[in-house]
Each structure stands twice: as C-alpha cells, then as structure tokens.
Amino acid sequence: MRLARVSYLGIAAVCGLLLSLASAQATNIQRVVSPGGIEAWLVQDTTVPIIAMEYAFAGGSTQDPPDKPGVANLVASLLDEGAGDLDAKAFRERLERRAIDLSFNDSREHLRGSLRTLKEHRDEAFDLLRLALAQPRFDAEALERIRAQVMATLRRQSTSPNDIASKRFFEVGFGTHPYASPPSGTLDSVPKISADDLRDHAKRVIARDTVKISVVGDIDPATLGAMLDRVFAGLPAKSDLKPIPPVELHVPPSRVNVTLDVPQTVVLFGAPGIVRSDPDFMTAYVLNHILAGGMTSRLYREVREKRGLVYSISESLVWFRQTAFVMGSTATRADRANDTIDTIEKEIHRIAAEGPSQKELDEAKSYLKGSQMLSLDTSSKIAGALLQYQIDDLGIDYIDRRNGLIDAVTLDDAKRVAKRLWDQRFLTVAVGRVAQPTGN
C-alpha cells in the first residue's frame, strides 16, 4: 500500500494510462462456449506467446467429512503428483521439460487451479491438465510424502500466534458449521485420511456443472473451444456436493483470550458483514478502504501514527456463498494489547456513528478506481480476476461497470452503510500474553 503516500495527481497520471489500456482489453473479454458446452471467458492477447488459465470447481474444505478435515487440501496437493500412466516423478518431469506451470489449491468453497504455458507447448499442457483432473493417481508414495509436509506445517502452525488466532476466530465465529473446519486439517485428522477418501472427494467435486474458467493469452476462440472439450468434456456432468446452510458470524459477549508466551500479542477482530450480491456491497468496499485501506486510513492514523501502538493494521471484507463478515488484524506489545483493542473499537464505532467526510469519500473512490488496474499487470492476474468475477456472478461486463459503481456511492449511502456495517459488537480474539479487560 505504499502508493497511499504518493500524490493523487501522480497516481491519476499513471492510472489514466493503465485504465485506457485495461479498458480496451476489458471490452475484448469474449464468452467462449465449446462444441461440448464448456464455457470460458477469454481475453485474447498475442503480445507474447503465453497462455494463462485459471479455473475453479465448487467444493473446497466445506465438503470434507466432519471427522476428517483436510481431505480437500490433500486432494489439491496431490492432483499434480501423478496421473494416468505417469507417476509423480514422470508427471513432474513432463511439466518441467516444457516449463509448464500447473498447480492446484483449495479454499473453503472451491478447488482452484492454475495453468501457464508457452503457446508452442499448449497441447501437452492441456493434456497434462486433463490427466490431473480425470485420472489422478493418489499413489501411496506421493500421499505419504505430501501428508508428511502437511503435518510439518500443522505442527508449525500449532505454535504460531497468527494461525492460532485465525483458527480460534473461525471456531468461535462459526461453531459447528462447515466454515469453522480448518481447511488444512488437524494433527489428529490428517493421519486418518486414506487414498479412498481422496478419490471420493475428487469424484464428487471435479465435475462440469460447477466449473468456472478464464483464459488470457495467445489463443483464439475456436482453438480454445477445442481445448476446453479436450480437458473438461470427459469429466462427470454433475457434482455431488452436500448443501451448506446459511450462517452468520457469532459474536460472543466478551473477548476470546488465548495465552501464549510470545513477544507480541496478535489481535483479530470481526463482525457480520455484507454479502457480495447485496446492493450495499460497493459502498461497504469504499468505506472499508477509508477505515483500513493502508497508510492513509483511519485505523492506521489513529492506532499507529498517533499512538504508536502497532506497526501495521488492516481490515477486509470477506464473503462466502452463505455468509459474509469483516475481519481485521494487528499485533502489538502484550502490555499495550488492551489499549490497542480499545482504540480500534473506538475508531470503528466513531465511523459507524458519524460516517466518513466527503473528502475521505472522494479520495477513496479516486484511489480504488485506479488501484485495480495497477494490480492487473500480468496475464495470470487478469485471468484470476476474471475467474473471481465469474464465481461472484458479477457478469462479463463487470470490469467495465466497476468504476461507475464506485462513482455512484454517495455520502448518504456511506453514512447509512457505515452504521449498518460497524454499529455492532465485534468478535475479538487475542493470542499472546494478554490481560482480561476490566468488566469482562
């Protein structure tokens, strides 16, 4: 967020150029439907002979068995560890020989993947992706190797104040709901996961009906259509996902303290938020930048610059299909944790009561209109953004409409949504050497 200290005139000059380039590219987003009915969004760019593809299947860790969290994480970690008649070593050698970048990751709601290849190796890259999705091996050697890596990570996270705080935040906030389940699993659950568990998960999740695909690079629509059928047409037509019920973040009556002997106390804070489809979402997005969007934000100014309580502080809007919340984080000295939390809450409640100023609103809108274009500086980042727009059901013209939606936010809107968003109690989790605040 270093750009926050650059003059708005300088930002405007840079953004003006990027906006004109990005706008020209954005209007060329094409909806490609393959002969077999597979849909993708394409930005054809022949500037360099590279193809970047991002894709996602609905599912993720919310589809893990309740007694075996971590299945989705292992599936994502093993899809490129052997497929078809290629074991892990042979599969990786094929990728490395052609400098093909193929990877997978899981989140709470999706299995996501990324493919990046030179145009001349396109056919081999798409064939390897097809094998990974349709014929993953989950061999014993690869499973035990990746399991050991996951276990090492979980052991490290078990003593990390940031990871402990995040785990407790979701446990307290969502209780027995699938959103509370740790995506990477636990030290108890991961050893129990079998290859059959992985095969069952992949079979239920990797299907044509939920897949979203975006492609940026040197490929024409007809060729892409053929490649889409080559990769995805052989997958099952329908996924078999268990339904995930709506839920609201639970806020307990008092702070959650976790004692840990570390130099700094980590603090997470959050409250129920606004879902992505809500008409007030863009107003909330602009407001959140005013409150916590970098070094010009209210929280940074009040908590760090004026009082020197923290080095950094942030807050984000988080949205899933069945819930939404705001979530912030910081770290401070143990003896200053209570002062830090009190200052954060006071500033949040102040913006809830008063709303922002017109100057704050205008500057936030100006920054946000340019910052997205500054961030879309590679084909992979553009493909990732287009994939997220599909996941969020924003429409293929969203990138062209986005700045208009930001411009439409009024001061009255901002004051009303500030009260809606922040005039409430917060879930606060503190991990470290902290004292219980007076009165709790």
17 found inside a domain: no
Distance, CA of 193 to chain centre: 25
pLDDT at 17: 31
Domain encompassing residue 382? 256-432
pLDDT in tens, 230-263: 999 999 999 999 999 999 999 999 999 999 999 9
Centre a 10 Å sphere on the Cβ of residue 218 and count the other Cβ atoms it contains: 19
The percent of residues above 90 in pLDDT, for the chain, comes to 89
d(CA 12, CA 14): 6
**Tens of pLDDT along 304-352?**
999 999 999 999 999 999 999 999 999 999 999 999 999 999 999 999 9
Q: Is residue 385 located within the same domain as residue 336?
A: yes
Give the per-residue pLDDT at 216: 97
- pLDDT > 70: what percent of the chain? 92
Q: How many domains does the chain have?
A: 2
Q: Which amino acid is at 254?
A: S
84 and 218, same structural domain?
yes
Smallest CA-to-CA distance from 317 within 282, 361, 267 is with 282
Residue of 364, 245, 235 whose CA lies nearest to 297 = 364
SS3 429: strand
CATH of the domain at 89: 3.30.830.10
Cβ neighbours around 158 below 10 Å, total: 12
Are residues 174 and 44 part of one domain? Answer: yes
Kindly report which listed range (15-19, 123-127, 211-215, 385-389) carries the lowest average pLDDT score.
Answer: 15-19
pLDDT value, residue 433: 86
Token readout for 91 is 């599969």
